[in-house]
Amino acid sequence: MTYQPLQDYGIIGDMHSAALVGTDGSIDWLCFPHFDSPSVFATILDDEKGGRFKIAPAAQGAARKQLYWPDTNVLITRFFSPDGVGEIIDYMPVGIPENGHGYHQVIRRARVVRGEMGFRMECSPAFDYALNSTKPRSRTKARASAPLA
């Protein structure tokens, strides 16, 4: 892959941290949960090892555009192809109490606006500027021993 120009990024934040979201649907920079925390995604610094969270059309060649909902920090990345229009909605909620549900979150929503469009997702965190190794783990859901009434 190649580096995107800085002009191809939008920014989302919650007044504690911020993420750079590329027009290709990739979060390429995020220190979380605070501005001075170590990075989770840092592809903007190292395209090979930096880590990213990308949601993009499965088919190549879609035109793309970014915009913000008026008077908000909600970023919309739209993808246009002959078969359809899709979009990724990105934001970080603000105004949530420190002990409340949703405090320090990145919200990403992919949807098809018109026609058909498949999406693919790549989530490859590289913690602490890719200095610490990341090993994927699978989790199994706990099962109730008796049916719930």
pLDDT digits (tens, 9 = 90+) for 97-148: 888 887 899 999 999 999 999 999 999 999 999 887 766 665 555 444 444 4
pTM of the complete model:
0.86
Q: What is the pLDDT of residue 1?
A: 63
Q: What is the pLDDT of residue 132?
A: 78
- What are the tokens at 2? 């190649």
Domain that holds residue 109: 6-128
Give the tens place of pLDDT for each residue, 14-42.
999 999 999 999 999 999 999 999 999 99
10 band by pLDDT with thresholds 50, 70 and 90 = very high
Q: What is the pLDDT of residue 51?
A: 95
Whether 108 is covered by a domain: the verdict is yes
Q: What is the pLDDT of residue 103?
A: 85
Domain count, the chain: 1
Interatomic CA distance for residues 6 and 20, integer angstroms: 9
Whether 135 is covered by a domain: the verdict is no
Interatomic CA distance for residues 52 and 55, integer angstroms: 10
Whether 117 is covered by a domain: the verdict is yes
Whether 36 is covered by a domain: the verdict is yes
| pLDDT over threshold 80, residue 58 | yes
- What are the tokens at 46? 């190292």
Contact status, residue 73 vs residue 46, Cβ threshold 8 Å: no
On the 0-12 / 13-18 / 19+ scale of CB atoms within 10 A, 28 is buried
